[in-house]
Amino acid sequence: MPGMTGFAGLENYEYLLTDPALWAAMGNTLLLVGWVLAITVVGGTLLAVLFQQEFPGRGIARVLAISPFFVMPTVSALVWKNMMMHPSNGVLAWLAESIGLPAVDWFSSLPLTSIVIIVAWQWLPFALLILLTAMQSLDEDQVEAARMDGAGPIAIFFFITLPHLKRAISVVIMIEMIFLLTIFAEIFVTTSGGPGLATTNLAYLIYIRALLDF
**DSSP calls for 56-125:** TTHHHHHHHHHGGGGS-HHHHHHHIIIIIS-TTT-HHHHHHHHTTPPPP-HHHHSHHHHHHHHHHHHHHH
Asked, for residue 5, whether it belongs to a domain, the answer is no
Asked, for residue 155, whether it belongs to a domain, the answer is yes
Domain count for the chain, please give it.
Answer: 1
Domain that holds residue 57: 22-212
Asked, for residue 207, whether it belongs to a domain, the answer is yes
pLDDT of residue 43: 96
- Catalogue the long-range contacts made by 47-50 (C-beta closer than 8 Å, 24 or more residues apart): 47/124, 47/128, 47/131, 47/132, 48/128, 48/131, 48/132, 48/134, 48/135, 48/165, 49/135, 49/157, 49/161
Asked, for residue 83, whether it belongs to a domain, the answer is yes
Work out whether the CA dihedral 113, 117, 123, 128 comes out positive or negative.
positive
Asked, for residue 29, whether it belongs to a domain, the answer is yes
Asked, for residue 173, whether it belongs to a domain, the answer is yes
The pLDDT tens digits along the chain (214 residues) read: 778 788 888 988 898 899 999 999 999 999 999 999 999 999 999 999 999 888 899 889 999 999 998 899 999 999 999 999 999 889 999 999 999 999 899 999 999 999 999 999 999 999 999 999 999 888 888 889 999 988 888 999 999 999 999 999 999 999 999 999 999 999 999 999 989 999 999 999 999 988 988 7
pLDDT of residue 114: 96
Asked, for residue 16, whether it belongs to a domain, the answer is no
pLDDT of residue 8: 85
pLDDT of residue 31: 97
CATH assignment of the domain containing 153: 1.10.3720.10
Asked, for residue 9, whether it belongs to a domain, the answer is no
